[in-house]
């Protein structure tokens, strides 16, 4: 388990570059998993991660 402060710091460093790769998403998921299950930050970061994934997922052609 990490503290919320540590998780916020890791999250900022991870997404601070603006580059999003599969490794970035994997690392972000690990940060979320390291937080206590009842943590409000875990809930918030989970939502942010899902939004980031949806914005950076390959789009299908119709």
Mean pLDDT by 10 residues, the chain (62 residues): 95 92 96 96 97 82 52
**Domain ranges within the chain, ordered by starting residue:** 4-56
In angstroms, the CA 10 to CA 1 distance is 13
DSSP 3-state assignment of 58? coil
Q: Where are the beta strands (DSSP E) in 1-62?
A: none
The C-alpha angle with vertex 31 and arms to 28 and 57, in degrees rounded to 5, equals 15
Residue among 19, 41, 16 nearest 31 (CA)? 41
What pLDDT, on the 0 to 100 scale, is given for residue 32? 98
């Amino acid at each position: 388990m990490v503290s919320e402060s540590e998780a916020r710091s890791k999250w900022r460093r991870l997404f601070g570059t603006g580059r999003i790769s599969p490794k970035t998403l994997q690392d972000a998921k690990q940060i979320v998993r390291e937080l206590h299950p009842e943590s409000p930050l875990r809930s918030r970061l989970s939502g942010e991660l899902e939004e980031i994934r949806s914005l950076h997922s390959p789009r299908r052609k119709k």
